[in-house]
Amino acid sequence: MSADIKHRTAALRAEVERHNHAYYVLDAPTIPDAEYDRLFRELQTLEAQHPELAAPDSPTRRVGGKPLDGFAPVRHAVPMLSIRTETDISDTGAIAFDARVRKELGLGENDAPIEYACELKFDGLAINLRYQRGVLVQATTRGDGETGEDVTQNVRTIHCIPLHLKGCAAEVLEVRGEVYMSRRDFERYNERQRAQGLPTLVNPRNGAAGSIRQLDPALAARRPLSFFAYGLGEVRGWASPATHNAVLGALAALGVPVSDERAVVQGAQGLVDFHQRIAAKRDQLPFDIDGVVYKVNSLALQVELGFVSREPRWAVAHKYPAEEQLTVVRGIDIQVGRTGKLTPVAKLEPVFVGGTTVSNATLHNEDETRRKDVRIGDTVIVRRAGDVIPEVVGVVLDPSIPQGERKESGRFDLFNRLHGKCPVCGSRIVREEGEADWHCTGGLFCPAQRKRALLHFAGRSALDIEGLGYKLVDQLVDRGIVNTPADIYDGQKLDLQTLAALDRMGEKSAQNLLDAIAQSKRTTLARFIYALGILNVGEATAKDLAQHFGSLDNLLAADAESLQQVRDVGPVVAQSLVDFLAEAHNCEVIAQLRASGVHWPEHERRQTAELPFSGKTFVLTGTLSGMTRDEAKERLEALGAKVAGSVSKKTDYVVAGAEAGSKLDKARELDVEVLNEDRFKKLLNPVK
């Protein structure tokens, strides 16, 4: 092969990608379509004649590959966490966020305003793009935040996403952003589909999400998708700027699409102004948004602020109001959610709002229903909150009808309306002090919570029953085979023949599930406590309870005062435990689980203060050869340590395995003690 062919192929790739960027990113095509097609076909021909010239970053890879059987799971190197949504859509929402940030940073009224980066909240699908030495090697969905799906073939078909970053040789650079479909492309696509008598897309968001999850990349390639970056994932060998806005600017310089509708502002008033400015032009934007996003601009301050409940303290999404209509309330029902939350729901005279006919609308909770003073027979304003869940915004009173002569008299009282019992299972309902929601206490027994309880019980962090997922739980519950977690271990209810007869199951899969169920019987006390799905009791609290009480019997016998002696357990968590264990149905299921053979090593009660790493904070980075990161985390937590996800001044130790990344650099910057794997093992050995 001559050098001329190599040179021509490389030149064609560069030229085609340059035209792609001008057309799809800048919206400013530089050549006619026919000329672009000629260049593209020439490149295809050269690569077909000389396969050794094929490259993963060639623009010819955008046409799609062979169909897949399914999407492979991919564990994110850095979790893709969601951000908190500010439900107050008024200016107060922005002001409240600024106040929370200032409080966390210990700033007073006389201190300087905080600098924020403001951007749009795109209505699409979150994607992580992984580049190695500047070449796109993998694209994954958010998934559950820890593990997503490999959708690389489909993402390659999105022309505005660069297959090769300009001037970037970083070992790893993960770019995170949103795949979306513009309004213009959505309408054009639907027009073509209608002309051919083919199905149309419901809305741009569904169009984007559905396209990315097509198993046939050729079908995905026909969907007109776009992308905007909004942040980073794992980074190795790339000097990150000091601010979020500068990061976006640096990504744009690498050829990554970044929205121009962003700003750096000062303080709460700056946030308010941005929210109002975007609201005024929202309808004129070429794509759908459902709000804006505020982020503390300084990356150093982001690290200092950290996270709470897996959400960053330094960012928030601020929504906009959706379309509204008037209708009449015909009744008010109480629905029991999958978590046991009791929600008042207005039964409405059907009304077309937000693109669909609405006959039910949430009233959220008792306080909201009282505040809005919604009563049967009232005319109300209905809004599709977040463009998804219809809600009652307020009442429009008829001035000719005196207040005392409304169809329903008296303010809404959820407890009295239900006589203090769950409308589904009859268990007691409770409302924690200072909380807005009433909850059913029959978590393991209530039919309304059944599917959620089973999925939670079988989850990876709980009993870890591989194969017991959403579709199977739906079948087992809908057919009345399984009612409580204890039924999972009942061999007469869940046998090989019963499972094999379920849709898409088969004998081999059924046997694998039965093996997983049998294996799950041996667990830990912490996992078992977490698996019960007790309100306000997460993984960390379950571990603290197990360490403190040492046995389930000790925990079952504890009162609220004893429970509050446990680390990080306050009155709210203690009362949640008391309420849960006071319900006879729950205790009966626990007894059945123990009788079925679910067990764990019992040990003597050990106070948290006696544990060797009590009060110490560790951060894990890189790959450990002797154990997984999850195993290392479990061992540290069992010894009283707190394992954090990011390095800060409060970090005591950073454990650095092979290929440690930016956390190691941060540890050195903050002068935090770093342990290699050998030193880490020696630290663990004396307390084995």
Q: Give the residue numbers annotated as catalytic, written as ranges.
A: 121
Q: How far apart are CA 241 and CA 238, in angstroms?
A: 9
Backbone angles phi, psi at 558, to 5 degrees: -75, 145
- Token pair for residue 16? 């085609």
> Is residue 392 packed enough to be buried (19+ CB in 10 Å), middle (13-18) or exposed (0-12)?
buried
> Is residue 461 packed enough to be buried (19+ CB in 10 Å), middle (13-18) or exposed (0-12)?
middle
Does an H or E element contain 219, and which?
helix 217-221
Q: How far apart are CA 389 and CA 549, in angstroms?
A: 42
Are 628 and 622 in contact by the 8 Å Cβ rule? The answer is: no
Q: How far apart are CA 534 and CA 516, in angstroms?
A: 24
- The residues facing 86 across adjacent strands are 318
* Residue given tokens 């109002």 in the structure block: 276
Does an H or E element contain 291, and which?
strand 289-296
Backbone angles phi, psi at 225, to 5 degrees: -110, 155
Runs of H (alpha helix) within 291-443? 299-305, 366-372, 414-417
| Coil, strand or helix at 130 | strand
Region label for 526, one of left (φ > 0), alpha (ψ between -120 and 50) or beta (otherwise): alpha
Determine the number of helices (DSSP H) and then strands (DSSP E) in the chain.
25, 24
Q: How far apart are CA 222 and CA 213, in angstroms?
A: 13
Residue 527's nearest CA partner among 451, 593, 612 is 593
Query: What is the DSSP secondary-structure string of 395-439?
Result: EE--TTS-GGGSSS-S---HHHHTTTB-TTT--BEE--TT-S-EE
Q: How far apart are CA 73 and CA 95, in angstroms?
A: 40
Query: Distances from the Cα of 114 to the Cαs of 93, 245, 267, 444, in angstroms?
Result: 16, 14, 5, 46
- The residues facing 264 across adjacent strands are 117
> Is residue 55 packed enough to be buried (19+ CB in 10 Å), middle (13-18) or exposed (0-12)?
middle
Of the chain, the end-to-end C-alpha distance in Å amounts to 64
Are 544 and 566 in contact by the 8 Å Cβ rule? The answer is: yes
| Coil, strand or helix at 577 | helix
Secondary structure E strands in 45-184: 73-75, 84-86, 115-122, 125-132, 135-141, 147-149, 172-180
- Token pair for residue 313? 């303290």
